[in-house]
Amino acid sequence: MAVAADAGALPSTSTADRQRIFVASQWQLTWWRFRKHRVAVASAIVVAGFYLVVPGADFLACSDPSASEAQRSLMPPQLIHWFDEGRLRPHVYGLKGARDPKTFKRVYQPDPSQKIPIRFFAQGFEYRFLGLFPMSRHLIGVDPGRDASTTIFLLGTDVQGRDLWSRLMYGTRISLTIGLLGVTMSLVLGVVLGGLSGFYGGILDTVIQRIIEILRSIPTIPLWMGLAAALPRDWTILQVYFAITIIISLLGWTELARVIRGRFLALREEDFVVSARLVGCSRMRTIFVHMVPSFMSHIIAATTLALPAMIISETALSFLGLGLRPPAISWGVLLQQAQNVQTVAISPWLMLPAVPVIVAVMAFNFLGDGLRDAADPYGR
């Protein structure tokens, strides 16, 4: 991309600035370069926003994600009206539900006479913030004590009358942490096997490379499906969560291992590595004190680029009903409701969980691209 190509050229050429470049650490140089890549910086902000949802899901949710109510099945999203009689007073219209006499489906009409004011930092269902502090404040909500028809559904409700917005918040928490955990496990496998392969070379290298080639030439989804289907049905959500993470990372480490091996091969014969060896550094010291820091930024970039694949894998598996299963909530579990085109045609908001998937995947891709360009000292 054009932005990326320009990113390398550090702007000023005055002597003072040049000296600043000469003494800057590698991290500083990387950061300066990264800053120039505007799309990547914007993506970094988006990604940070996504990860804020992980601890804040309970706070951002309006209502209990598993509270179902048949009377509120498949309600459309309620638009926020910001002004009331010329003053800033955010509110939503109440929805009147009735049965269509012909189709027997519940249809909802907004009722402008019934204004439900939105309260910020409102009281709502109880939760434990970060799993520790009991709290009941939520970012937005409605006055407590009113009857069930006056709730707020920013993104509508699902078949069982559960608030889609709140469920999306909890789903984000699960989907993003699965991606992060999966990529961490892949990273461990990738660093160990890629490192062994690149540092020692020889037969070990050949064997590991062949294993990688074999794993990469196997279609992954059927295998994942097979492994995921074998998980016992009576496992708890937590057990399934970790099992899915392991299954995804078992097949996902190959790309990371390839990158790391490449860096090891490139560095092995560098002067500073040879001298470290000659002055008698142990192998471990050579690797972790001298070699790893010099390609740490590459690892971070490769890890960022591997994350979207993890997120898509979890979403795909859960979408098929083989990954996380209700009552667990993830993006894939939410999208399961959108599997049937007839349902979606009547209630298109059920497809909304696809939006965060696509945005997150794009943001991670741009961020990873930016990091990779910034981390490469020989780039233009």
Residue 332 and residue 225: Cα distance in Å, rounded? 14
Nearer to another protein, 316 or 329 (CB): 316
Nearest 5°: phi and psi at 149?
Answer: -80, -10
Strands (E), the chain: 81-84, 87-99, 106-117, 119-129, 133-141
Q: Which residues pair with 94 in a beta bridge?
A: 111
The residue whose two tokens read 């667990």 is 328
Please give the residue ranges that form the binding site for another protein (CB under 8 A).
1-2, 210, 213-214, 216-223, 225-227, 229-230, 232, 308, 312, 315-316, 319-322, 335, 338-339, 341-342, 344-345, 348, 351, 354, 357-358, 361-362, 365
- Which of residues 246 and 358 has its CB atom nearest to another protein in the complex? 358
- State the nearest-atom distance from the C-beta of 320 to another protein, in Å: 6
Q: How far is the CB of 262 from another protein (least distance, A)?
A: 16
Judge whether 256 and 185 are in contact, CB under 8 Å.
no
Looking at beta carbons only, is 61 or 244 nearer to another protein?
244
Query: Distance (Å, rounded) from C-alpha 70 to C-alpha 75?
Result: 11
Least spacing, CB of residue 14 vs another protein, in Å: 30
Q: Which is nearer to another protein, 221 or 246 (CB)?
A: 221
Shorter beta-carbon distance to another protein: residue 127 or 242: 242
Least Å from the CB of residue 289 to another protein: 35
**C-beta separation of 273 from 318 below 8 A:** no
Q: Containing H/E element for 71?
A: none
Q: Residue 288 in 3-state DSSP?
A: helix
Shortest CB 211 distance to another protein, Å: 8
